[in-house]
Amino acid sequence: MATTSTLSTPDLLEQVRLAGSPPKHVAIIMDGNGRWARERLMPRPFGHRSGMKAVREVVHGAIEAGLQHLSLFAFSQENWQRPTTEVSALMSLLEEYIAREVAELSERGVRVRILGERDRLTDGARKAVEMVERTTAHNDTLTLNIFISYGSRTELVRATQSLARDVAQGIMSPDDIDEDAISGRLMTAGMPDPDLLIRTSGEQRVSNFLLWQLAYTEFYISGVLWPDFGRRDLFTAILDYKRRERRYGKVSV
Ligand code: FPP
């Protein structure tokens, strides 16, 4: 019998479809752009540019696989500490990605949302972000969540402050604070938690990404560096996920 590694990409997609309902929400920590560039004796932004092509490929794969939400961690709050040239290159790439892809994303029914501290983005990037969100707001085939200048602990701090303010003003009581109340104050409010988290490049860390939302998420570590990650890698991860038994802390029946 053919293993996933010997199947063609269309056959892998067929396997994904035969495996039944796909995960609703897949989150990806895109890692390894710098190493990919270094292996080619090129500067780091060269890896990010190739990483942008992988984003395009994976978005198409997510539509084919029938995902409802795809969340990509593109830039963390900690990433602001990288050299200015690299940060500028990433901001420009975001603008370029949006300008290049907005028409096709719209046509394919993709809604784009940008999550993170957008006040810190360059003017150009912020305008591009507002434009793509506005243009794609009514689409519902796939929601593409791009996390930029995002940190999960800050998100939790903000949610806590917002609840505390409501308690202080008598709008709610401390006893009203439950899991739904906290989830409802996060940037991901209204979205299902990720079923599957993929991290590329072999690293095995969460890196301050969706700490609350990943409580019961299945993890899949891929050894592939992000610029080389394609739809067949996405399909392979989904098939691996479909073979797992999710117990949410209970025992199997
Ligand atoms: C991590 O690799 C990757 C990033 C910090 C940036 C991710 C950006 C992209 C994929 C391109 C632009 C994205 C969009 C959505 C337009 P790293 O640089 O930490 O790699 P390393 O660990 O090998 O150094």
- Pairing relation of β-strands 25-29 and 69-76? parallel
Q: Which residue has the tokens 């072999």?
A: 202
What was the pLDDT predicted at 249? 75
Domain count of the fold of the chain: 1
Closest Cα to atom 18 of ligand 1: 34
Q: What pLDDT score was predicted for residue 13?
A: 97
Written as six digits, the tokens of 5 are 């590694």
Q: Output the domain CATH number for residue 43.
A: 3.40.1180.10
207 CB within 6 A, ligand 1: no
Which ligand 1 atom is nearest residue 36's CA? 23
Query: Residue type at 113?
Result: R
CA pair distance 240, 245, nearest whole angstrom = 11
Q: What mean pLDDT is predicted for residues 115-120?
A: 95
Is 195 within 8 Å of 67 (Cβ atoms)? no
Band of residue 2 on the pLDDT scale cut at 50, 70, 90: low
Q: Is residue 31 part of a domain?
A: yes
User: Which amino acid, one-letter code, is at 229?
Assistant: F
**Residue 33's closest CA among 79, 96, 99, 98?**
79
Residue 166 lies in a domain: no
The verdict on residue 143 lying in a domain is yes
Beta strands in 103-209 (DSSP E): 110-115, 142-150, 196-199
Nearest in space to 151 (alpha carbons), one of 191, 113, 120, 125: 120
- Domain assignment present for 229: yes
Q: What is the pLDDT of residue 251?
A: 73
Residue minimizing CA distance to atom 12 of ligand 1? 52
Regarding the beta carbon of 82 and ligand 1, being less than 6 Å apart is answered: no
Q: Is residue 252 part of a domain?
A: no
Residue 11 lies in a domain: no
For residue 144, what are its two tokens?
Answer: 């593409």
The pLDDT, as a whole number, for residue 253 is: 60
Q: How confident is the model at residue 248 (pLDDT cuts 50, 70, 90)?
A: confident
Q: Is there an atom of ligand 1 within 6 Å of 116 CB?
A: no
| Mean pLDDT (whole number) for 12-21 | 96
217, 196 in Cβ contact below 8 A?
A: yes
Cβ(113) – ligand 1 distance below 6 Å: no
What's the domain range around 28? 22-104+114-152+201-242
Q: Would you call 129 helix, strand, or coil by DSSP?
A: helix
Strand 218-221 versus strand 196-199 pairing type:
parallel
pLDDT above 80: residue 149: yes
> Known catalytic residue: 176?
no
Alpha carbon 191 to its chain's center: 12
Catalytic: which of 11, 79, 139, 228?
A: 79
